[in-house]
Amino acid sequence: MSFTNKKIIAGNWKMNGLKNDAWKLTNDLLSKFESPDEKLGFEMIICPPATLLSEVVSMVDGSPIKVGAQNCCDKLDGAYTGEISPVMVKDIGANFVILGHSERRSYYGETNELVAKKAEAALNQGLTPIICIGETLEQKENGSALAVIEDQFLNSIPENATIENIIIAYEPVWAIGTGKVATLQDIIDVHTKIREVAEKKFGSQNISILYGGSVKPNNAKDIFSLKDVDGVLVGGASLKADDFWAIAMASV
């Protein structure tokens, strides 16, 4: 899926929200659009918890807002208690899935290889994976950040990926939920590296790259000003409609 000339504004609600919260937040976002089919200069994706996917998909039907899941299994069905397959995600009406988020990697031991298997399964079901990569503070401080980024990129991307059917999200682990944000030069350096590695793998640098890590209304415009930033993956600020909308509007 290609979003030529449009910034991608993706919101990761993480493990937050009950039905009433989802109803209010989604309605507040929908109310920002002047008409249901309004065409703006950005693509908005919201990724609620799995328990709210069906409800949110129904609410945004016919609107410019798209929906993604926060994770999926690498298996399509079977005896995998507690898992949600990409078939189920697609069946419920979502079009995207976040994979390899640092919280999945660090809390649940997800490896590059598992992320690649999940992405392969998601792509086979017509979902667009948002594949997250990013270094820890220790890796940043010891000078290995760019090597880590290259390794995660090359080993988290499946063989059925193309330059058009995946999205990469650069999320420095040390900036997620901490209030810290990478400097503009940090973002430039890593996004440039990602494009160089994409050139090696795909023969093109034209891949969609999002920045994530304490993105807020007061820093969004500076982040969007960087030519190698195709959008943002927003955590905490996506739980407030006014903040999330302000971030989106900073992109146009």
State the alpha helices, DSSP H only, in 44-111: 53-60, 86-92, 102-108
Write the single-letter amino acid at 143.
G
> Rounded to the nearest 10 degrees, how much is the dihedral formed by the CA atoms of 44, 50, 53, 56?
-70
CA distances from 124 to 117, 146, 157, 159 (A): 11, 30, 13, 11
Which of 101, 103, 135, 191 is labelled catalytic? 101
CA distances from 167 to 15, 34, 126, 127 (A): 22, 28, 14, 11
Q: At what angle do helices 112-124 and 145-156 cross, to 10 degrees?
A: 40
Bridge partner list, 69: 97
d(CA 145, CA 104): 19
Which of 43, 103, 171, 191 is labelled catalytic? 171
Known catalytic membership, residue 101? yes
- Residues with a known catalytic role: 101, 171
